[in-house]
């Protein structure tokens, strides 16, 4: 099963990363799920696919009562992001799922009905979790055409979806890393291929460089901390994207 | 639980086979309808000597239309089964995932899954299985009713063959037509036997 790791805690406000299942079959891409808690309220970010549900659910329940999961955030529509929706709804049919308006009629193929979805307009929006206001940051075409990230001003954490993904080999896939130059080699091919728009990339870099970020948490791979975040944004802004061969 | 998944997969494949068999009977029933119309024209041309054959041809045409109606009802029934089996396949998959989640969980997570499976999930699964069993029983009954109807068609075809012998100059043509009836109805009987066997296997 995955491990639940508290990556930020200040009083009632907490971020938990659900990561690294040693029994994950190698034909499934590894994914990180994050739970933001504020008091009794919570938001599960990119809850994952059906196949990883058992390990996400079991890891999550070591830290938090799964019945209290009442909000989900899907950065985009992919199966590794949100195909477990039907299972979360089985446990709490009142669960609300935040997703781009663009995908509101596609994602119900994974489960849910009209009442399940809260659509996010292209410009983003705020989501209240307990007493904290989280900001939904547009990241369209990076890689999905309706794509969002989530910024927590209190924790200074940016959940960056697929941006920041590094497909690191075993042994170099810790939750945090130390050597940026070594790490970023495993991110290059992914970003060149998956991020399809130079303009969208420049807009995103400009947008997030205005945020005060202590941690950047991608959906795959290790978390960026401190100066690594600035270095990543700088590296990404200079990377040629939308090319088939790296 | 894996057995349940296999069962539902097998059930879905069986329904697809049933539906294909029904489609073939519908096509044959349509063929009988056309054959009966031709036979009616032929009997009219033969005149007084083929009066009996003409009456039987009319009956065979009515039989073909009844058979088509019966088969379209059977088809609707199999579509209903597809819906129910699809729900069952989905539930079987959920069961498999929940069973894995249960094994990996402890404490509140495990008791939550236990309670959920006991109170809601397994009940829904059982309810769907019951629905499929009921649909299968109705399907079997309808196949049996259809087999009776086809038996009547078979009797009509044999009688037409006898009447053809009294067809005078048209006797050979009438005999040919009634033999075609007999052969075609025989095809339907074999299809129905295969459907009955599939149903028996599922019950």
| Chain-centroid distance, C-alpha B81 | 12
Pairwise CB contact (< 8 Å): A91 & B121: no
Asked whether the beta carbons of residue A58 and residue B108 sit closer than 8 angstroms, the reply is no
Is A234 within the bounds of a domain?
A: no
Q: Do B97 and A55 touch (CB under 8 A)?
A: no
pLDDT at B2: 44
Residue B5 pLDDT exceeds 60: no
Task: Say whether the peptide bond before residue A143 is cis (omega within 30 degrees of 0).
Answer: yes
Question: How much is the pLDDT for B199?
Answer: 78
Q: Is residue A146 part of a domain?
A: yes
Interface test with A, best of B92, B98, B104, B108 (most A CBs within 10 A): B104
For residue B145, the domain's CATH number is: 1.20.1270
Among B94, B101, B107, B117, pick the best mutation site for testing chain A contact (most A Cβ within 10 A).
B101
Three-class SS of residue A6? strand
Residue A183 within a domain? no
CB pairs under 8 A between A and B: 50
The residue range of the domain holding B109 is 2-202
Q: What is the pTM of this model?
A: 0.79
Average pLDDT of span B115-136: 81
- For residue A125, the 8-state DSSP code is -
pLDDT exceeds cutoff 60 at B71? yes
How many domains, chain A? 1
Q: Note the pLDDT tens digit of each residue in A26-46.
A: 777 789 999 999 999 999 999
What would the mean pLDDT of A123-152 be, rounded to a whole number?
97
User: What pLDDT sits at residue B111?
Assistant: 92
CA distance A148 to chain B (A): 28
pLDDT at A50 over 50: yes
**β-pair partners for A37:** A14, A42
Q: Is residue A181 part of a domain?
A: no
* CATH code, A70: 3.60.15.10
Task: Dump pLDDT digits (tens) for B16-39.
Answer: 788 788 888 888 888 888 898 998
Taking a C-beta distance cutoff of 8 angstroms, is the pair B60, B36 a contact?
A: yes
Q: What pLDDT, on the 0 to 100 scale, is given for residue B4?
A: 56
User: Could you list the residue range(s) of the whole structural domain that residue A159 is in?
Assistant: 3-165+213-226
Q: Is the separation of the CB atoms in A152 and A207 below 8 Å? A: no
Interface pTM, i.e. ipTM: 0.76
pLDDT band at residue B1 using 50, 70 and 90 as cut-offs:
very low
Q: Residue A245 falls within a domain, yes or no? A: no
| Nearest by Cα to A152 from A47, A56, A10, A2 | A10
> What is the nearest CA distance from B97 to chain A, expressed in angstroms?
6
Looking at every residue in chain B, the average pLDDT score rounds to: 85
Average pLDDT, chain A: 94
Confidence of residue B176 (pLDDT cuts 50, 70, 90): very high
DSSP state of A176: B
Instruction: Name the strand (E) or helix (H) holding A58.
Output: helix A53-61
Asked if B103's CB is within 8 angstroms of A66's CB, the reply is no
- Closest Cα partner for A169 from A210, A242, A221, A124? A221
Asked if the model's pLDDT at residue A97 lies above 80, the reply is yes
Q: How far away is chain A from the Cα of B57, in angstroms, using its nearest Cα?
A: 52
Q: Tens digits of per-residue pLDDT, A172-228?
A: 888 999 999 999 999 999 999 999 899 999 999 999 999 999 999 999 999 999 999
Question: Which residue, chain included where needed, has tokens 């690191």?
Answer: A168
User: Looking at per-residue confidence, does B14 or A146 come out higher?
Assistant: A146
Distance CA A201, CA A242 (A): 10
Q: Which residue is closest to B98 within chain A, CA to CA? A: A54
Place of tokens 């170099």: A172
Q: What pLDDT, on a 0 to 100 scale, did the predictor assign at position A29?
A: 77
- Select from B97, B108, B110 the Cβ nearest to the Cβ of A87: B97
Report pLDDT for B6.
59
pLDDT category at B3 given cuts 50, 70, 90 is very low
Number of structural domains found in chain B: 1
Question: Other C-beta atoms within 10 Å of B107: how many?
Answer: 11
List residues of B whose CB lies inside 8 A of any A CB: 93-94, 97-98, 100-101, 103-110, 112-113, 116, 120-121
CA distances from A6 to A16, A63, A79, A153 (A): 4, 9, 25, 17
Considering CB atoms only, which of B100, B116, B120 is closest to A54?
B100
A91 CB near a chain B CB, below 8 Å?
yes
- Flag whether A235 is in a domain: no
Distance (Å) from the alpha carbon of A232 to chain B's nearest alpha carbon: 36
For residue A166, the 8-state DSSP code is -
């Amino acid at each position: 099963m995955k491990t639940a790791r508290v990556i930020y805690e200040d009083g009632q406000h907490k971020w938990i990363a659900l990561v690294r299942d040693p029994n994950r079959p190698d034909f499934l891409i590894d994914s990180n799920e994050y739970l933001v808690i504020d008091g009794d309220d919570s938001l599960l970010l990119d809850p994952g696919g059906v196949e990883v549900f058992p390990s996400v659910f079991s890891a999550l329940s070591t830290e938090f009562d799964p019945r209290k999961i009442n909000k989900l955030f899907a950065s985009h529509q992919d199966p590794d992001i949100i195909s477990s929706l039907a299972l979360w709804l089985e446990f709490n049919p009142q669960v609300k799922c935040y997703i781009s308006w663009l995908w509101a009629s596609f994602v119900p193929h994974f489960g849910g009905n009209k009442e399940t979805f809260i659509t996010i307009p292209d410009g983003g929006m705020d989501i209240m979790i307990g007493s904290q206001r989280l900001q939904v940051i547009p990241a369209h075409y990076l890689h999905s055409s309706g794509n969002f990230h989530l910024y927590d001003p209190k924790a200074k954490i940016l959940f960056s979806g697929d941006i920041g993904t590094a497909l690191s080999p075993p042994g170099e896939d810790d939750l945090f890393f130390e050597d940026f130059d070594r790490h970023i080699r495993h991110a290059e091919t992914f970003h060149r291929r998956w991020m399809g728009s130079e303009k969208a990339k420049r807009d995103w870099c400009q947008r997030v460089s205005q945020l005060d970020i202590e941690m950047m948490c991608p959906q795959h791979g290790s978390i960026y901390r401190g100066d690594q975040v600035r270095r990543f944004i700088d590296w990404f802004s200079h990377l040629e994207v939308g090319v088939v061969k790296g | 639980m894996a057995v349940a998944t296999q069962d539902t997969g097998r059930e879905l494949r069986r329904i697809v086979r049933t539906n294909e068999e029904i489609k073939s009977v519908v096509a044959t029933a349509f063929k009988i309808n056309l054959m009966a119309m031709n036979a009616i024209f032929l009997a009219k041309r033969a005149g007084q000597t083929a009066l009996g054959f003409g009456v039987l041809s009319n009956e065979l045409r009515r039989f073909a239309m009844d058979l088509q109606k019966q088969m379209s009802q059977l088809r609707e029934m199999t579509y209903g089964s597809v819906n129910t089996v699809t729900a069952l396949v989905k539930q079987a998959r959920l069961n498999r995932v929940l069973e894995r989640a249960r094994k990996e969980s402890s404490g509140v997570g495990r008791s939550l899954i236990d309670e959920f499976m006991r109170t809601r999930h397994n009940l829904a699964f059982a309810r769907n299985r019951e629905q499929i069993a009921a649909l299968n029983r109705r399907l079997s009954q309808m196949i049996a009713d259809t087999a009776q109807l086809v038996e009547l068609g078979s009797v009509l075809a044999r009688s037409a063959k006898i009447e053809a012998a009294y067809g005078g100059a048209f006797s050979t043509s009438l005999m040919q037509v009634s033999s075609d009836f007999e052969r075609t109805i025989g095809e339907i009987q074999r299809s129905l036997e295969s459907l009955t066997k599939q149903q028996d296997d599922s019950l």
